[in-house]
Structure 1
Amino acid sequence: YRAFERKYRKNLKALYLVHPTNFIRLALQVFKPFVSAKFGRKVMYISDLSELNQHIRLDQLCIPNAVDEYDAQLLAKEKKPSAAASNAFQLNSTENGKALLETQQFGVSLAFIKENNGGEVIPPIMKTCLEYIS
């Protein structure tokens, strides 16, 4: 942040970190208390170039070939699901004969979880997570 001149720091709307490693994410979390909250809100993690394209036009950027190649490698890895994952998706891709939406979590809708939760208000995954962190 300090590497930028003051006029750029003050006009910075967002800082996009494309293909951040876990080390980069961890380093930013460690230094977060020492960086202004306003700057922290401007940092955005971008996993691939198609996601970056949703925020800014890629044709306006000079993206190095190495970044394009790395992005292509990541996308190729994502498109090769394991046989087990593929079978699990096929088994869970419908609920009562209806196709599942991408927004549904754990392969079922919130209504399905509510109906099959034994009258509990909190979904079981949330309850388990809360018990784990407390």
Structure 2
Amino acid sequence: MNYELATSFKDKPSDKGPFYHGTKADLQVGDLLTGGGNSNYKPELKMNHIYFTALVNGAGLAAALAKGDGRERVYVVEPTGGFENDPNVTDKKFPGNPTRSYRSEAPLEIVGEVTDWVRQTPEELQNWRKKLANNKGEIIN
């Protein structure tokens, strides 16, 4: 990956929203989502950021893969501070951020909930879980 190209996207998020966050947590409009929780993908890692996307189906996938026993939920969120392209996908895999994935050290405010998104089949979810279990890459925190 070209470091200069990756760096050029860091402080220039390419989206204005709407933004979504997928989870299994039961939350309400007005609640704030913050970093500091354990990673869904590496549970021993405490995350410094809160992650979100401009793709409702991407948030739905994140909800399906999230830890917990609650139902999958996709919330419409608004960043309360600055945010950047997620370097775990943008800088490593997808220059230009086609996944429309972001992260922020500032909280995200829940402003609504979406109930209609494309859900993965059990087979697709199993394939995603296998990919994640076999991923040896480092998470940029």
Q: Give TM-score scaled by structure 2 length.
A: 0.21
Which structure has the greater CA radius of gyration? 1
**Whose strand fraction is larger, Structure 1's or Structure 2's?**
2
